[in-house]
Amino acid sequence: MASAKKMLLVVLFSIARLAGFGQTDPIERVWYNEEKTAKIRVYKTESGKFCGKIIWLKVPEKDGHPKVDQHNPDKAKHNDPILGLLILKGFTRKDEKTYEGGTIYDPKNGKTYSCTVTHKGDKLDVRGYIGFSFIGRTTVWTMAEE
């Protein structure tokens, strides 16, 4: 009888451990940008870094054609569509709420900034900066439906 209880405990412990592997990080969701003109899906890559790409645009076309990355400093990318564009790259989780070490690309001006992301429940504080984080700008993204 004692070995049956031990076996049951081992099985329950194993199930609990496996359930933990399937959990996603709290920022792995779809978020509206501050203006609510785009939705960005944040996800974790196989390397363990967090990235985000544009999956929806309120106005996906300009002059009857898909919006493109016309301000990208790399002229070869000027015809790349904005929809599907990777704008967050390379973040690692610093602590329970903070993600750092990544960059954010702004397709409105073609510039890439160092960035930190702070998770605040149904909001993300996304701070882009050059050089020092205190010299930058924070936008607030809100959780969106899938």
Distance CA 8, CA 16 (A): 12
Mean pLDDT of 127-132: 92
Q: Report the phi/psi class of residue 76: left, alpha or beta, with left for phi > 0 and alpha for psi in -120 to 50.
A: alpha
Residue 135: pLDDT band (50, 70, 90) is confident
Q: How far is CA 15 from the centre of its chain?
A: 29
- Higher pLDDT residue, 9 or 61? 61
**Domain definitions of the chain by residue range:** 25-143
Q: How much is the pLDDT for 24?
A: 87
pTM (two decimals) = 0.82
- CA 30, CA 76: separation in Å to the nearest integer? 29
Cβ atoms of residues 127 and 140 within 8 Å: no
Q: Distance between CA atoms of 65 and 80, rounded to whole angstroms?
A: 12
Share of the chain above pLDDT 70, in %: 84
Q: What is the pLDDT of residue 131?
A: 87
What pLDDT is recorded for position 2? Answer: 56
How does residue 21 score in pLDDT terms, banded at 50, 70 and 90?
Answer: very low
Q: What are the structure tokens assigned to 47, written together? A: 């390397």
- Mean pLDDT over each residue of the chain, to the nearest integer: 88
Pair of tokens at residue 84:
């599907």
Is the domain defined by 25-143 classed in CATH 2.40.128.520? Answer: yes
Instruction: Return the closest-CA partner of residue 143 out of 32, 26, 23, 28.
Output: 32
